[in-house]
Chain A
């Protein structure tokens, strides 16, 4: 006879499974400075690499003289393209089907481009040697404007592609053109627009910015010449893919390469790609037989590793006089910089930009994206969003506001009458997606009620009158945003990276005494996987999350996976975790039945145990079952309790949310104050509400930064003007607004636990919210569109342009 205490509620609480606001297990080490980041790695005899970088945006490299640098005490090697060429490593393939110079091969194409790689005894000697490398440049005409790049007769940037009239994504119609990618029915869309009662047209620019993780990119490459094994520690968001790429590039067999992502201090897409620093460090380690560390500094990170956005989106949206949207047309000029190094699934050169019909039932639509080369740094990564989804959300949420203005309608109401209805899910969008689930009207009404929307509008109207009477110089903006994300790439049939299908994985080992270790193909960069994946598993296998260790990031131990970006960890690896857990549970059920001497079907799972149906006092806890798996011979069953699952999702998941903010804005100084931010997120099943809240706070803060000041800006000469944190805006606690979070819960019908992913939603929804607030403040004075970032002088310029300075 078993003891029935603790009671069921206590057992559920002890589990710390789904829905529990469990504290993050990572934080004990991070808050005490005990994390282990790449730059913390020190190995005996380790050398240090540093780059000579181009001061010019476009120049021919006439000569490189390394003599003085080599003569400096402590310098071991200086690599140039000439040294890499015999290895075939002076260029490398990009994730987007293009190639990129590892070290300048005859010319440089952007300021900060890698020209030579110095290897030295320590970091200081390396930096001194960089100064001693003499590079003779001959300046070439610079193109920083993607529209000028496509003009007839424009300077050809990529001479290596001369004569190639097609690339990885089809036809190239100009030497500086990369691809035209199209989706939707162009003719039908144009026909609808031509006949429409109302058409609103606007060009929306989503400026170039940068993920700027607090920890910059870096690696330590260590080639062991005795056993032929290469170990690569690095700030990688996709360690397994890096292993495969390293193997393909170096010719070292994959089993001889170990890639380790240790603690990572933020990624936000910046750490997905493969950078010259990794290649050069590996080569340097192979050449010297010593470990070689390379860690970029802040300026290098901002100027040379992957940027985000830089989309010029020309839109036309049509509607009936009553405001029912009838069609959407969008053409994007995408500035990819000097090399097409976008990190998108192979078949999607513009990512999932065609989610740009947003949360609305739009019958017909067309998108065309022209990728263009310019003399800017390469990149184009998904900065805390799924691939190009932030651009798409910004585009549609601006177009909705512009249309509302055209119709002289309230923008909240316009959204409401065009939302996809609950009964339309699964919903097939005009641009080819199948939205899994949603209840937009409920979320929107909850949000509008929470902020007292009508009251805010009344207050705003009074403010405009007071402004006109000269009683105040402050306007009030109400920022609306309703977004639909598309995350969890993705079905292997259409999503891959360099040919590797975008599945993910989990392997679980239950130990004899009833605790567990689970390893995943993903890698946390701050998302709290060690906390939340343990919770998924706890609910599946009835072992407390506190007794489950989650490990990621070591390719020698973790199962293959495609990594963490695009909010894919929970939708894909989270699903794999649940399914692997279910395999464990299925075996546990057989063991329990054997121990309880009943038929398999006569026991059922209950929180942390299997009980005999109808006899709750007869049970075996998971702890007992785990022990039995290792110490008893159970007829018909292998010993042990382990499982692995590789999960290929049938579809993406479609989180959504309703965001509203209130902003006061000084027309004279351009200063803004965010009075209120309300963020309702629906990410399906909620695994850990506190972690969700933290993710939402962080994402909103990044969104605030992007909308209100953060940018990578170049002058006409291609000089990067925003290479330090003095000019590149990262908000401090002082600038960061206060947030109110809320939720609805519409589970994904196809995900094993109904979860959708949330880490990136606040960036996707937050940027249009903040930007719309600025536009909304000036709506009464006729402003249609003003490009981000909305820093002081640009807001001042709006007011100046509208004649508000008298």
Chain B
């Protein structure tokens, strides 16, 4: 559990960070809270000869709620997400989800940017961001661009971000209506056996809009349009929920691990989704 030797940098501007990335190419990696990266380095599953710590870059911090638009700096910690009253008003699903990540010690360090840039299917924020329809702002040697969360995740640990790019901000519209993040895990500090993010709005007793995403049930987060469609125009009764569960089941592709076999994961995915829908509906 001792990492290989590395050089440590703590640039104070994005520009400096970018030029370090360019100078060292494949040998360099940025670090946010370090709570995914450092364990990988200690296990020697990641070798990072040049480690660029983003802690000192002020531009990457801050939560801004501007009318209907929420913008969160990549270096905002999960703890800050939980504490933010602005976010609680504009996107309460974030707090509900962040409280289910790891434990307070990890959340003091772990950042929202690191959580999505990591590309680990076990991370909770990617599914939440797909559910919210977030946009990720990236800056690289060729300038800035945005990528939709729903197009960002390509495979386990593979994202649309290129190695020279830094994730700067996450932007999404404030959400109204009902919400829920339902996560089953074995213990505090564990990744999801299955988790479901649900946002929905109600009009005249039926579901007007819905968005559903699932965590750790494939090698990428699963935004299930079909599951959401199954709720459209319904009263989210048991029949509609069953249809949403069936549709979601067609979109996920869980693998067997210590959390259990595939059949169990599919079953629990259905249960967590049904509970999330029920809770979201009750709040809508």
Query: Which of A299, A722, A725, A726 neighbours the largest number of chain B CB atoms within 10 Å of its CB?
Result: A726
Q: How does the 8 Å CB contact mask read for A722-745 relative to B, with 1 for contact and 0 for none?
A: 100111010110110000000000
A726 touches B1 (CB 8 A): no
A732 touches B187 (CB 8 A): yes
Question: Is A463 positioned at the interface, with any CB of B under 8 Å from its CB?
Answer: no
| Stretch of A95-103, A776-784, A789-797 at the chain-chain interface | A789-797
| Stretch of B195-203, B215-223, B263-271 at the chain-chain interface | B263-271
Chain A positions 178-233 with a Cβ under 8 Å from a chain B Cβ: none
How far does the alpha carbon of A552 sit from the alpha carbon of B258 in the complex, in Å? 41
In the complex with contacts A729-B186, A732-B103, A792-B193, A127-B260 CB distance below 8 A: no
**B2 CB → nearest A CB, Å:** 4
A729 touches B5 (CB 8 A): no
How far does the alpha carbon of A709 sit from the alpha carbon of B187 in the complex, in Å? 10
How far does the alpha carbon of A491 sit from the alpha carbon of B186 in the complex, in Å? 44
How far does the alpha carbon of A123 sit from the alpha carbon of B42 in the complex, in Å? 13
A732 touches B2 (CB 8 A): no
Chain A positions 743-762 with a Cβ under 8 Å from a chain B Cβ: none
Q: How does the 8 Å CB contact mask read for B179-191 relative to A, with 1 for contact and 0 for none?
A: 0000010111111
**A741 CB → nearest B CB, Å:** 24
B264 touches A797 (CB 8 A): yes
When distances are taken between beta carbons in the complex, the residues of chain A under 8 Å from B205 are none
When distances are taken between beta carbons in the complex, the residues of chain B under 8 Å from A791 are 186, 260
How far does the alpha carbon of A729 sit from the alpha carbon of B185 in the complex, in Å? 12
A669 touches B259 (CB 8 A): no
A792 touches B258 (CB 8 A): no
A732 touches B268 (CB 8 A): no
B44 touches A131 (CB 8 A): yes
**B89 CB → nearest A CB, Å:** 28
**B53 CB → nearest A CB, Å:** 19
Question: Is B46 positioned at the interface, with any CB of A under 8 Å from its CB?
Answer: no
A127 touches B188 (CB 8 A): no
| Identity of the chain A residue whose Cβ is nearest the Cβ of B2 in the assembled complex | A127
B271 touches A793 (CB 8 A): no
Chain B positions 1-45 with a Cβ under 8 Å from a chain A Cβ: 1-2, 4-5, 44
When distances are taken between beta carbons in the complex, the residues of chain B under 8 Å from A731 are 187
**From A298, A299, A729, contact of B187 by CB (8 A):** A729
When distances are taken between beta carbons in the complex, the residues of chain B under 8 Å from A721 are 258
When distances are taken between beta carbons in the complex, the residues of chain A under 8 Å from B263 are 800
Chain B positions 235-284 with a Cβ under 8 Å from a chain A Cβ: 258-261, 263-264, 267-268, 271-272
**From A297, A669, A732, A735, contact of B184 by CB (8 A):** A669
How far does the alpha carbon of A727 sit from the alpha carbon of B193 in the complex, in Å? 12
B264 touches A124 (CB 8 A): no
Question: Is A422 positioned at the interface, with any CB of B under 8 Å from its CB?
Answer: no
When distances are taken between beta carbons in the complex, the residues of chain B under 8 Å from A726 are 189-191
For chain B, the count of residues having a C-beta within 8 Å of the partner chain is: 24
**A357 CB → nearest B CB, Å:** 36
A727 touches B258 (CB 8 A): yes
When distances are taken between beta carbons in the complex, the residues of chain A under 8 Å from B4 are 127-128, 131
How far does the alpha carbon of A533 sit from the alpha carbon of B171 in the complex, in Å? 63
A722 touches B184 (CB 8 A): no
In the complex with contacts A668-B267, A669-B271, A123-B2 CB distance below 8 A: yes
| Identity of the chain B residue whose Cβ is nearest the Cβ of A722 in the assembled complex | B258
| Identity of the chain A residue whose Cβ is nearest the Cβ of B190 in the assembled complex | A726
When distances are taken between beta carbons in the complex, the residues of chain B under 8 Å from A123 are 2
When distances are taken between beta carbons in the complex, the residues of chain B under 8 Å from A668 are 267-268, 271
How far does the alpha carbon of A126 sit from the alpha carbon of B4 in the complex, in Å? 11
| Identity of the chain A residue whose Cβ is nearest the Cβ of B194 in the assembled complex | A669
**A475 CB → nearest B CB, Å:** 16
When distances are taken between beta carbons in the complex, the residues of chain B under 8 Å from A299 are 1
A793 touches B187 (CB 8 A): no
How far does the alpha carbon of A670 sit from the alpha carbon of B264 in the complex, in Å? 9
**A303 CB → nearest B CB, Å:** 12
| Identity of the chain A residue whose Cβ is nearest the Cβ of B184 in the assembled complex | A669
**B9 CB → nearest A CB, Å:** 19
| Identity of the chain A residue whose Cβ is nearest the Cβ of B260 in the assembled complex | A793
**From B5, B189, B191, B258, contact of A732 by CB (8 A):** B189
A734 touches B188 (CB 8 A): yes
B187 touches A734 (CB 8 A): yes
When distances are taken between beta carbons in the complex, the residues of chain A under 8 Å from B260 are 791-793, 796
Q: How does the 8 Å CB contact mask read for A286-310 relative to B, with 1 for contact and 0 for none?
A: 0000000000011100000000000
How far does the alpha carbon of A722 sit from the alpha carbon of B190 in the complex, in Å? 13
| Identity of the chain B residue whose Cβ is nearest the Cβ of A726 in the assembled complex | B190
When distances are taken between beta carbons in the complex, the residues of chain B under 8 Å from A713 are 258
Question: Is A517 positioned at the interface, with any CB of B under 8 Å from its CB?
Answer: no
When distances are taken between beta carbons in the complex, the residues of chain B under 8 Å from A735 are 187-188
**B239 CB → nearest A CB, Å:** 15
A709 touches B186 (CB 8 A): yes
**B49 CB → nearest A CB, Å:** 13
Question: Is A515 positioned at the interface, with any CB of B under 8 Å from its CB?
Answer: no
Q: How does the 8 Å CB contact mask read for B108-139 relative to A, with 1 for contact and 0 for none?
A: 00000000000000000000000000000000
**B124 CB → nearest A CB, Å:** 15
Known: A127-B4, A726-B191. 16 other contacts (CB 8 A): A131-B44, A668-B271, A669-B184, A669-B268, A725-B189, A726-B190, A727-B258, A731-B187, A732-B188, A792-B193, A792-B264, A793-B193, A793-B259, A796-B260, A796-B268, A800-B267
**4 closest residue pairs by CB, A with B:** A793-B260, A127-B2, A297-B1, A793-B264
A-B contact pairs, 21 of them (CB 8 A): A127-B2, A669-B184, A670-B264, A722-B258, A726-B190, A727-B258, A729-B187, A732-B103, A732-B187, A732-B188, A732-B189, A734-B187, A791-B260, A793-B193, A793-B260, A796-B264, A796-B267, A796-B268, A797-B264, A800-B263, A800-B267
Interface residues of chain A, those whose CB is within 8 Å of chain B, are: 123-124, 126-128, 131, 297-299, 668-671, 709, 713, 721-722, 725-727, 729, 731-732, 734-735, 791-793, 796-797, 800, 805
